Amino acid sequence: MDKNWWKDAVVYQIYVRSFKDSNGDGIGDLQGIIDTLDYLKWLGIDAIYLNPINQSPNHDNGYDISNFREIMDEYGTFDTFERLLSEIHKRDMKLIMDLVINHTSNEHPWFIESRKSEDNAYSDYYLWEKTTDGQPPNNWGSFFGGSAWTYDEKREAYYLHIFAKEQPDLNWENETLREDIYDMIKFWISHKVDGFRIDAINHLQKDTSYPDAEVKPGETYGDFLKYVQNLPKVHEYIKELRVKAFNQSEKDIVLIGETGGIGHHNAYLYTATDRDELDMTFHFDYHSVGIDTYTWQKTDIDLINTIKAKMSGWQNTPKINGWCPLFYSNHDTTRTVSRLGDDSKYRYASATMLALLQLTQRGTPFIYYGDEIGMSNPKDFLLEDYRDISVKNKYQEKVVEGNWSEAKFIQRLHLISRDNSRTPMQWSDDIYAGFSQEEPWIRVNSNYKTINVAKQKKDPHSILSFYQKLIALRKAKDTLNYGSFKDVDYANEKLYCYYRSDNENTFLICTNYSKEKVPLAREIQSVDKELILSNYETVNELMQPYEGRIYQVKS
Ligand code: GLC
Ligand code: CA
């Protein structure tokens, strides 16, 4: 199998707004990232993926871009960006940027022009529809709540926005628009970035016959997914983008998609090595694991069907079907340890056990900022603490116009709000967790006094120290990434164990995905092996709650 830097890399995702504020305005920025690069290097990180840093009015924290070629004022200048890139490269690390090309901000000059008339150069850059009955063209509801259509007084027509109304969707059928996008990508390539994560890429094509969609029970709007997601032309667009924006000498630049509505098992549609589309794609396998969307309570996790089937499923996927990121969380989910582990009694054990699974499988690990110290969902956020635009829009739809109680709505936010994973990075027990000297744009999780980098860096038995050791081990042993994968005792509903092997080594990974003490299977006990790493001090045949171990098998 071909090796690439991005297959070997351990990547770290930074939600810039929440990572480190260098100038005391309560908002994370690029200088803040520069100041923390030595920490990331120490941790063993090879590449950094940044959420969008382009100019934006920030209705959706940078996912509404008003100028693709400038840096957001709050984050710094172009000069700061160039310094950041050179400091990253100096440390032999890489930079992956977010590319938001499904939509722009409604303040982007293209949209401002497009609104003006039906016959200017940009009229056709967005998806406009006229109606005669004063109603939107159809019943689609947007991802962020409310109708997917907004009426524009100036143009006297509706425009489509699958996200917020401040994020009008681009019309990818328009060739001139596509050429403009490719030019913009070339601009960033010329500045020597190392890769792109392409936002919402599987939405580039919409069914522009705009049929009404099915309204599910309890909903106000039609569910538009099958008309706006993973449609066939998306693949043509990606192939064209690959050819036109990148050339041979740039084949080292990694292209990662964000593809809602697919799991690891059909990620090959976008990543198969013979399809010339993406290098890898973020699937949505773990987003709603452990969440009951009826009661808005956390539920037990079915280890075999939701964890093993997905993780081992990907590990056993033929390599021709592409390469996969190994990740649990990002800025659109909740915190890993809260959703997939236990963020109370077993926070240390479950966070380290999950880290162990993530770093001993084939794929590129993406560590979401703060997961390396076991940051968790805030448990005491009130309605006014939330910042996400989708919270505001959904509140309008569900509570103001719908029949949900506010209590039910808040219960839902505690379980699924994206703000759960966007709280400021917990650097120390100083004011505002060492993130800023001033009040941050979003509230700090009140557990920062006990959960922070400074404390964990000093402690050899912390989650952070465990991550650092694991990353070093993964990098020292190719087997853990490229080796073959074999489940053992698959039917076990509490333990998840597997072998990784190549010509040089065989490792046996054993984890306990439960709160009980569980004996290892006989066939594992009898293997001649040596313990390399564990998240418990004493180790015997009985696996402790959320225990995780790596053994080297003796030959
Ligand atoms: C993607 C991003 C998300 C954003 C949306 C609209 O899903 O990850 O944060 O809100 O696209 O750009
Ligand atoms: Ca700042």
Q: What type of residue is 398?
A: K
Q: What does the angle CA 22 – CA 45 – CA 500 come to, to the nearest 5 degrees?
A: 155
Q: Is 161's C-beta closer than 6 angstroms to any atom of ligand 1?
A: no
Q: What pLDDT, in 10s, does the model give residues 168-204?
A: 999 999 999 999 999 999 999 999 999 999 999 999 9
Mean pLDDT of 432-460: 98
From the CA of 60, give the closest atom in ligand 1. 10
- Say how many Å lie between the CA of residue 125 and the centre of ligand 1: 20
Lowest mean pLDDT among 24-28, 143-147, 248-252: 248-252
- Range 496-528 burial, b when 16+ CB lie within 10 A, else e: bbbbbeeeeebbbbbbbbbeeebebbeebeeee
Sign of the four-CA dihedral 191, 436, 333, 309: positive
**Residue 325 · residue 364 · CB < 8 Å:** yes
Mean pLDDT of 367-378: 98
H/E run at residue 486: strand 484-488
In the structure, ligand 2 is a single-atom ion and the residues with CB under 5 Å from it are 21, 23, 25, 27, 29
**Distance between CA atoms of 186 and 164, rounded to whole angstroms?**
28
Q: What pLDDT, in 10s, does the model give residues 251-290?
A: 799 999 999 999 999 999 999 999 999 999 999 999 989 9
Band of pLDDT at residue 367, cut at 50, 70 and 90: very high
Residue 154 reports pLDDT greater than 90: yes
Helix, strand, or coil (residue 222): strand
pLDDT at residue number 495: 98
**Distance between CA atoms of 257 and 88, rounded to whole angstroms?**
23
From the CA of 103, give the closest atom in ligand 1. 12
- The total of other beta-carbon atoms located within 10 Å of residue 128's CB is 20
- Say how many Å lie between the CA of residue 82 and the centre of ligand 2: 17
Best of 199, 229, 256, 394 for a ligand 1 pocket test (most atoms within 8 Å of beta carbon): 199
Q: What pLDDT, in 10s, does the model give residues 84-109?
A: 999 999 999 999 999 999 999 999 99
Residue 249 reports pLDDT greater than 70: no
Estimate to the nearest angstrom the gap between the alpha carbon of 163 and the chain centroid: 17
| Percent of the chain topping pLDDT 70 | 99
Q: What are phi and psi of 384, to 5 degrees?
A: -70, -10
| Percent of the chain topping pLDDT 90 | 95
Estimate to the nearest angstrom the gap between the alpha carbon of 153 and the chain centroid: 36
Query: Is the pLDDT higher at 4 or at 426?
Result: 426
Q: What pLDDT, in 10s, does the model give residues 332-359?
A: 999 999 999 999 999 999 999 999 999 9
Give one word for 192, left, alpha or beta, with left for phi > 0 and alpha for psi -120 to 50.
left
Task: Work out whether strand 47-50 and strand 94-99 pair parallel, antiparallel, or are unpaired.
Answer: parallel
Band of pLDDT at residue 555, cut at 50, 70 and 90: confident
Which structure tokens are listed for 242?
A: 């690959």
Mean pLDDT, the chain, integer:
96
CA torsion 71→72→74→78, rounded to 10°?
Answer: 10
Q: Which ligand is nearest to the CA of 76?
A: 2
Band of pLDDT at residue 246, cut at 50, 70 and 90: confident
Q: What pLDDT, in 10s, does the model give residues 386-425?
A: 999 999 999 999 999 999 999 999 999 999 999 999 999 9
Best of 49, 163, 165 for a ligand 1 pocket test (most atoms within 8 Å of beta carbon): 163
Looking at residue 123, the DSSP 8-state letter turns out to be G
pLDDT at residue number 347: 98
Q: Active-site residue numbers? A: 199, 258
pLDDT at residue number 107: 98
Q: What pLDDT, in 10s, does the model give residues 293-333?
A: 888 889 999 999 999 999 999 999 998 999 999 999 999 99
pLDDT at residue number 251: 73
**Residue 352 · residue 466 · CB < 8 Å:** yes
Which structure tokens are listed for 521?
A: 């299977």
